Every structure is written in structure tokens, then in C-alpha cells.
Structure 1
Amino acid sequence: MNWKVAINNFKQYLQLERSLAKNSVEAYVRDIEKLESYSLTQDILNPLKVQTTDIQLFLRWLGELEVQATSQARILSGIKAFFNFLLLEDEIKQNPAELIEAPRLSRKLPDFLRVDEIEEIISAIDLSKPEGMRNKAMIETLYSCGLRVSELINLKLSDLFFEIDFIKVVGKGNKERLVPIGNGAKKCIDIYVNEVRNHQPIKASFEDFVFLNRRGRALTRVMIFLIIKELVAKTTLTKNVSPHTFRHSFATHLIEGGADLRAVQDMLGHESITTTEIYTHLDRAYLQSVIKSYHPRP
């Protein structure tokens, strides 16, 4: 068996049996093609001949190319899936990657904004322009609900349940969740929708999208990044602020205010609580207050 046949069979397996999304399948294939390229330089023409030491040397080679540990871990995960497939097909007797440990990942604390810094960004918005109220509504929503930028641009009018103070969000993997929305964000969206958006022409199929560009279409991720970058440039802030920074700030401020980590996990749409934990930049005073409040022997 050569690499091309094995990779093509693996791709069909991911598509037909695992029913993975197109982007996920392509990511798996790209990672295995990296192993293929390396293996061919070592005269390993048959993937069934790959040994554990070959994969270890491949990972060391990635490290020498300064491929980040997170990318190495993802590639190794794909390699394990590839050889598990070959094992499932009885092409090999043992997965050569099975016992290889992923590189240790450093958990970088994400940047977040203080409340006054968020207020400074919002104050930089020029509300005399038609897009001003839209931009204010978007930032208020990002911070009020902790949305991902993809969730913001795909938010629909039919997802707004203001009568019960919730919005419906479609997150990763098309998973839906209900997220509470604050009065400030509700008010801004109401003003934008009823006093600005209703006066602009809207293209067919975009009638239900909340946030629109001047041509009446849904905004793109890049446009949201540019809007925030331009606003921050008008402030005294020196931090690197992105749409995700408001999500980090949402989670951080909730946790520091005493919110339950599980509740924050649900609102962020995280499958694992360990993902939520990186948003908690809790200072020692807060941690001490938790011990004193909840430990039976403080």
C-alpha cells in the first residue's frame, strides 16, 4: 500500500463512517500528508512500515521547524486516528503512535479588559454615523453574552427572545444554547433594529440577520475585527483587543464576581470545563475569599 491510497481510504472513512465536516476532514488529511512528506524523505514509501521511532523523529523534526506545541499535538492526534483506521482495517497489528505522548501545552492566559476599558472603547463610537449604533450594539452584545465572533455575525432576529431576557446562539458544531442578555445590550439592539436597520435596504436571504453592512448583507468576521481595531485606535488602550477579548472579559468578570464556573461554561458553550478555566484570572484575594466563604475549616 502506498501513501496516496492509504490517505484516500482514510479520507473516505472520515467522510462516510465518521461523518465529519469537510473542514475537519481536510485538516486530518493535511496533517497526514505532512507525515507522508517526511516519511518519503526517509525512504518510507509504505505507511504500513512506519514505526514508533519514525513518528517520534517526525515530531522532533516539526519541533526543529519551530512548529508550535499546540500544532504538534493536533498533528499527533491526527496521526493516531490515521493508524487506528489502518488497525481497524486489519492493515496493521498495532498503532505505532499509540504510546507517544503529546508535547506539553502551556496554557496562555487570554487578555481581558477592565470594565472602564470597555467603557472607553464604547465611548469612542461615533453615534452620529449610521453604523455607530450598530457597532455599539455589537460590542454590547459581545460583552453582555460572551459570544464568539462567528456567533455574533450569524445572530438572527428570530433568535432574540427579549421578553424572557435570552438569546439563542448557534455555536460550534451547530449546537444551540440559550444565553442571558443584559438590559444595556437589549436596548442598543432595539434602537439599532428599529431606528437604523429598518431604514436600509436589505438583500434577499439576509432579512433575518441582526447585524448588516451598508449593502444590506451579513457582516464578515474580518469586518468585525477591523471595526474593533479602529475603535481601539481612538482610545488610550495599548492592549491587543479582538472580538474574542470581550468574550474573555465576559467570563473573567463573571468569575471574579462569584459566578459558578459551570454556569459560565454553559453560557460560553464549552464542552469541557477545563476550557472555561483558562478564562479565570482570579487574584489571590478572591481565592482567599472563596476559601473563607466555602471551606468547612477556613
Structure 2
Amino acid sequence: MNKFSDESVYSFIEYLQIERNYSEYTIDFYKKDIEQFSLFMNAQGIRSFSDVEYFDARLYVTELYHQKLARASASRKISCLRSFYKFLLREGLVKENPFSLIIQPKSGIKIPSFFYEKEMDLLFEACMESTPLSIRNLALIELLYATGTRVSECAKIQLKDIDFDFSTILVKGKGRKERYVPFGSFANEALQKYIQHGARKELLNGLEDHQFLFVNSRGGPLTERGIRHILKTVIESASLTGKIHPHMIRHSFATHLLNNGADMRTVQELLGHAHLSSTQVYTHVTKEHLRKTYMNHHPRA
């Protein structure tokens, strides 16, 4: 890949960070997708992004299908490259977008995985030690479950964003959008214990206070990667089995609200979804709950 290509990718990543305010986690995916496409270009003898034509884009998509990728993964890669070329076109670095006419594969509805309430209790119990790290971990998981925030949003929370009098927190979401989310008594108590009773101060270990809510073991702000590592460790400690990922706590937040009677619009606002369709995927989870309730309580079931 030549210097022109390297500078193009650097400019695009800078655009995602500054103008689009994408999370580090999302940007990593974009980098990997463009890097994979660059390897394809090298194999085809294509020297520059500006030399890619529609036929090349079609050939690349065919290769993705041959790799037997999930439809969602293939769709993401195509979307990434379409956005990349749209940026290059805007900057006058290419004359056309070879991915503009590529049709993305339709994805089937993916049912979100979530923890049952008893499984959430196991996660909380796994953080019941009195060490500063355990107190922090409990506050972290309680807050994630109480608010449904994304890991990327949680990493940005500062002390000034929390209002204990009204039990609300200011969450800075995607695209610089902000929303206020309430949290309950369990999260309130866990946060108070973490902040007021010395655990956070002890983790700072004499360093200057940076004002971020969650602190790592070295006294610095807890990053997205750090939060994911903590969640993975706690999940393993709770001896939960199956395919588990940190985003399941956010899924659990939404599913449990709907199961207990919350309306869709409220859950949409709490999650920070721009479109109701993003929230409606949780109805496929709650339908099973409704069916069981019906079978257990209807006299003619």
C-alpha cells in the first residue's frame, strides 16, 4: 500500500474520531475492515484506492461470501467501505465510489442474548468482597444494569454527571447526543459506597483526581477495554456458561424493563436509540415471556 493510501486511511480515521465521534471499539472494526480490503487489493495488484472499480468491489464481496461470513459481518464490511469511499469522494481523492451500487445482504432478525434476573444476581454476588476493586466492580455492574449504558458511554462518565439527589446520570452517547437516565436504589448505594467510602480514592493512590467516575488499578481512567476485561472476569467468576459478552447487560436492562411492563418508547429513550426499530428487536425476546405468562395464568390455556 502506497503513501497515498496510508494517508487516506489516516484521514478517514481522524474523521471518524473528530466529526463522527465514533467509539474506539467501532473505529477498531473500521481499521480491520479497511486493512482486510487492502490485502485483497494487494492480491489483485491494485496499487491505490483510486484504482478500485465497481467490478473489483463485486469481486471482493464474492470473496466475503466464499469465506462464509455471517450476513451481519459481511454487511458491516460493505457498509464500512462504502462510508470510506464516500469520505474519499468528498475529499476529492477518488472520482467514484465503487461500493455505492453494491447491495448489502439482508440480515435476519438477530435475537439479543440477555441474562435472566437470577443470573444478574450471580454477577452481583461475584463482586461482594470488601476490596476497593470489588467495590468498584459492583458499582460498575450495578450502574450498567440500572441504566443500560453502552460500555463506551460508561467509560466517559465523570463525577459531575451524577446527580444523587434525583438519582439521574448524564450519559454522552453516539454522535455527541446526550440523555439523562435514572438509576435505582441498588446502583445508588453501590456508587455511594465506591465514591464516598474511600474505594475510589484508594484506587487513585495519591494521583491527581481526573474526575472520571471509574478508576483502574493504576489510578487512571478506566477505558472501554478495561471495562470489557472486568466484565469478562466477573462473568467467569460467576460461573456463567454459554456464549457471553459484556453487551448482554445492556440487553438485560431492556428485556427486563419490557418484561415488567415498560412501554417501548420509554425504553427507546433510555437506551439512546435514534430509531424505534432498534428497540423493537427486544420484543422478540419478550414474546416468549408473554407466552409463558399466558400459559400459566389463562384459564383456557
- TM (normalized to structure 1)? 0.76
2:228 is matched with which residue: 225, 230, 244? 225
Counterpart for residue 260 of structure 1: 263
* Aligned-partner SS, 2:133: helix
Alignment check: 8 A CA contact 2:74 2:105 kept: yes
* 1:155 positional shift: 1.9
Amino acid at match of 2:277: T
Q: 1:241 to 1:53 in 2, by over 3 A?
A: closer
Q: Structure 1 residues 197, 59: CA separation in 2 closer, same or farther (over 3 Å shift)?
A: same
CA distance in structure 1 between the partners assigned to 2:277 and 2:181 by the alignment: 20
2:207 paired residue number: 203
Partner Cα separation in structure 1 for residue 274 and residue 195 of structure 2: 32
CA offset at residue 194 of structure 1? 1.3
1:167 Cα offset (Å): 0.6
DSSP-derived class of the 1:112 partner? coil
What SS does structure 1 have at the residue aligned with 2:62? helix
Separation in structure 2 between the aligned mates of residue 63 and residue 269 of structure 1, nearest angstrom? 33
- Given that 2:4 and 2:48 are in contact with CA atoms closer than 8 Å, whether structure 1 keeps it comes out as no
Structure 1 SS opposite 2:102: coil
Q: Quote the Cα distance in structure 2 between the aligned partners of 1:226 and 1:250.
A: 20
Aligned to 1:57: 59
Larger mean Cα displacement after TM superposition, 124-133 or 33-42: 33-42
Q: Which moved further from structure 2: 25-34 or 137-146?
A: 25-34
Matches of residues 118-133 of structure 1 in structure 2 within 5 Å?
A: 118-133=120-135
Q: Which has the larger radius of gyration?
A: 1
Taking the aligned partners of 1:252 and 1:146, their CA distance within structure 2 comes to 10
* RMSD across aligned positions (CA): 3.8
SS at match of 2:110: coil
After superposing the two structures, state which structure 1 stretch, 45-54 or 172-181, moved more: 45-54
Aligned residues: 287
Q: Distance in 1 between matches of 2:287 and 2:201?
A: 47
Q: CA deviation at 1:41?
A: 4.3
Q: Distance in 1 between matches of 2:216 and 2:182?
A: 26
> Residue 163 of structure 1 aligns with which residue?
165
Which of 261, 270, 273 aligns to 2:273? It is 270
Question: Quick check: 1:125–1:135 contact (8 Å CA) kept in 2?
Answer: yes
CA distance in 1, matches of 2:133, 2:49: 55
How do 1:1-298 residues align onto structure 2 when only pairs under 5 Å count?
Answer: 5=4, 19-20=19-20, 31=33, 34-35=36-37, 37-39=39-41, 41-42=43-44, 50-81=52-83, 82=85, 86=89, 92=95, 96-197=98-199, 200=202, 201-206=205-210, 208-280=211-283, 281-284=285-288, 286=290
Deviation at residue 262 of structure 1 after TM alignment: 2.0
CA deviations 1:184-208 (Å, max 9, x no partner) are 11111112211133652342242x2
Deviation at 1:7, TM superposition (A): 7.8
Q: CA deviation at 1:179?
A: 0.4
5+ unaligned residues in a row in structure 1: which ranges? 291-298
| Contact residue 15 and residue 21 of structure 1 kept, 8 A | no
Aligned equivalents of 1:227, 1:87: Cα separation in 2: 40
In the alignment, is the contact (CA less than 8 A) between 1:168 and 1:177 conserved in 2?
A: yes
- What amino acid maps onto 2:280 in structure 1? E
**Deviation digits for residues 77-122 of structure 1 (CA, Å, limit 9, x no counterpart):** 3443426854995975x75543321022234322211112111221
Q: Distance in 2 between matches of 1:7 and 1:55?
A: 19
Q: Deviations over 1:250-286 (max 9, x none)?
A: 0001111221222212111222322223334122562
Q: 2: CA distance between counterparts of 1:149 and 1:268?
A: 12
